Amino acid sequence: MATESRGRPRTGSLYWAKSGWRARLTIYVSGESVQKAYNLNTIHKAAARAKLARMLRETDSPEKVKAIAERTSETFEEAARRAVEKRLIKTKGARLKRLEKYVFPHIGAEPINRIGVGELQDVLDAAAKLKLSRQMCVHIRGDIGSVWKRLRKEDPRIPQLMDLLDIPEEAKIDTRERAVLTDEELNIYLGWEHPLPQYRMPVLERQTMACIARLFGGLRTQDLHAIRWENLDAGNFVEGRAPRLKTGKAQKLAIPEMLRPILKDWWELHESPKDGLVFPVRKGKRAGEGRKPYSHARHLRRDLRRAFGVDVWDPATSTFKPVRKLTSRERDLLEGSEDYFPVDFHSWRRMYAQALARSGTNSQTAMELTGHSTHEAHDRYLRDTGTAKELPLAAQPQLLSTARARNRAVLGSETELTIRNHSEREMGFEPTTPSMGSLCSTN
């Protein structure tokens, strides 16, 4: 039966009665429209709206509409999707995928009021039998917990069950470490420039983020997204406040001399703003606004393949093409192995902490610089290495000349700005050439 001829879609309506929320909507019986009212068996408006939406999708089937209305409880899948659609979970996409893959097949069709601790524990046990890592099991428990927390806010009668769940002992413990670039590899990365002008800015942005995370407190990705010009003493760049979103406590740190010209180049490229985000959304309707939770890991690894010479630009086809196989070291960094997770943007934080350890910085000072609150958290970053607020010179990589050459080349091609070179005279570094060709060489 064609629905186009019936005009605009029905919306239905909700109204409150002594028994709870009720819905009034038009259904079709033998081709005729009939308006009916249904008791939705809930006192929670969010659940009533979700029920009405499902009923509106079934207006051609009076039996299904009635069955949905009479259901005394949402299923877990319905409740979970409602929670995710309302963006109650920050990492929306990843969490929904885990729910669809590991949770819904087991309890998705179960009404909420019939789910107990046994059913939830069975989900985690099934995940462990799939040889998933312990951390993945923790994520799955968190996904369930986010939905459960929302449901308990709507109905306090729902019992608290999450504290009773255990991660199964059978869960695989993944002991791999996160791969970390050496300073030499970082230099190669900073010296790379995209052959097409329209893609140079996002590459430069990631490179600038890398420099800040490597030299200024080992900032996490979310902290990089939150850093503001007014917190960096824009124009002077002597000291700044490092945002620490995980703990909610900003931290005052000295900006190393090596980082100052890199920040100044990025600042001048953006017309020397006095305030605002350092790394806002660059284009589209949300240009200038803060970024939503976002990972740069895939783009970083793609950049590294090109910087290392694994993928080379082919002018004939205007694409990058692989020209050789990965070395074992490149495989660790770019794809991961049995010993390492591939490099990601959090690797700069690990690199920062390990450089402090190698320079002989004591653990108390290192924890102040990284913003770690416990020794256990800090020690996790030092598995392969052994109140001052300034990053020791011995912990700083020799990357200024590469970064400056890269910035000068990008700025020269993008704007008419003249870059001050006072920092080069003060630091004694001079770019060998503004061309990126020699810096990209992997010979």
C-alpha–C-alpha distance, residues 93 and 89, integer Å? 9
Which comes out higher in pLDDT, residue 181 or 74? Answer: 181
Residue located via tokens 């001829």: 5
| pLDDT number for residue 4 | 42
β-bridge partners, 23: 14, 38
Please tell me whether residue 177 adopts helix, strand or coil conformation: strand
In the structure, what pLDDT confidence band is assigned to residue 50 with cuts at 50, 70 and 90?
A: confident
| pLDDT number for residue 127 | 92
Please tell me whether residue 26 adopts helix, strand or coil conformation: strand
| pLDDT number for residue 428 | 39
Cβ-count burial 340-363 (b if 16+ within 10 Å, e if not): bbbbbbbbbbbbbbbbbbeeebee
- Find, among 278, 281, 275, the residue nearest to 266 by Cα: 278
pLDDT tens string 111-153: 887 889 999 999 999 999 988 888 889 989 988 998 888 888 8
How many of the other CB atoms lie within 10 Å of CB of 290? 12
Number of residues that this document lists for the chain: 443
Which amino acid belongs to residue 148? W
Which comes out higher in pLDDT, residue 51 or 240? Answer: 240
C-alpha distance across the termini of the chain, in Å: 69
Least confident of 193-202, 290-299, 348-357: 348-357
In the structure, what pLDDT confidence band is assigned to residue 381 with cuts at 50, 70 and 90?
A: low
- Sheet containing 13-17, strands listed edge to edge, beginning at the edge strand earlier in sequence: 13-17, 20-29, 32-39
For the residues 251-256, what does the mean pLDDT come to? 91
Residue 422, token pair as written in the block: 């006072």
Q: How far is CA 345 from CA 220, 251, 387, in A?
A: 8, 20, 28
- 6 has pLDDT over 90: no
pLDDT tens string 309-350: 999 999 999 999 999 999 999 999 999 988 888 998 888 888
| pLDDT number for residue 378 | 61
Question: From start to end of 219-310, where are the E strands?
Answer: 239-242, 251-254
β-bridge partners, 111: 75
Q: What is the DSSP letter of 163?
A: G
Which comes out higher in pLDDT, residue 419 or 316? Answer: 316
- 15 has pLDDT over 70: yes
Which amino acid belongs to residue 35? Q
Burial tier of 19 (Cβ tally within 10 Å: 0-12, 13-18, 19+): exposed
Residue 412, token pair as written in the block: 């020269």
**Mean pLDDT of all residues in the chain?**
80
Burial tier of 329 (Cβ tally within 10 Å: 0-12, 13-18, 19+): middle
C-alpha–C-alpha distance, residues 178 and 103, integer Å? 28
For the residues 277-296, what does the mean pLDDT come to? 88
| pLDDT number for residue 436 | 30
Q: What is the DSSP letter of 10?
A: P
pLDDT tens string 197-240: 999 999 999 999 999 988 898 888 999 999 999 999 888 899 99
For the residues 344-359, what does the mean pLDDT come to? 81
- Find, among 368, 367, 435, 380, the residue nearest to 191 by Cα: 435
Angle at 252 between CA 246 and CA 254, to 5 degrees: 125
Provide the pairing of β-strand 177-178 with 340-341.
parallel
- Find, among 413, 397, 407, 402, the residue nearest to 441 by Cα: 402
- 417 has pLDDT over 50: no
Q: Is the distance from CB of 258 to CB of 378 less than 8 angstroms?
A: no
- 380 has pLDDT over 80: no
Which comes out higher in pLDDT, residue 130 or 440? Answer: 130
In the structure, what pLDDT confidence band is assigned to residue 435 with cuts at 50, 70 and 90?
A: very low
Angle of the 200-215 helix axis to the 260-269 helix axis, nearest 10: 150
In the structure, what pLDDT confidence band is assigned to residue 388 with cuts at 50, 70 and 90?
A: very low
- 75 has pLDDT over 80: yes
Distance of CA 390 to the CA centre of its chain: 28
| % of the chain beyond a pLDDT of 90 | 31
Sign of the Cα torsion 5, 8, 10, 15 reads: negative
Burial tier of 185 (Cβ tally within 10 Å: 0-12, 13-18, 19+): middle
| pLDDT number for residue 434 | 31
Residue 325, token pair as written in the block: 């196989």
| pLDDT number for residue 426 | 36
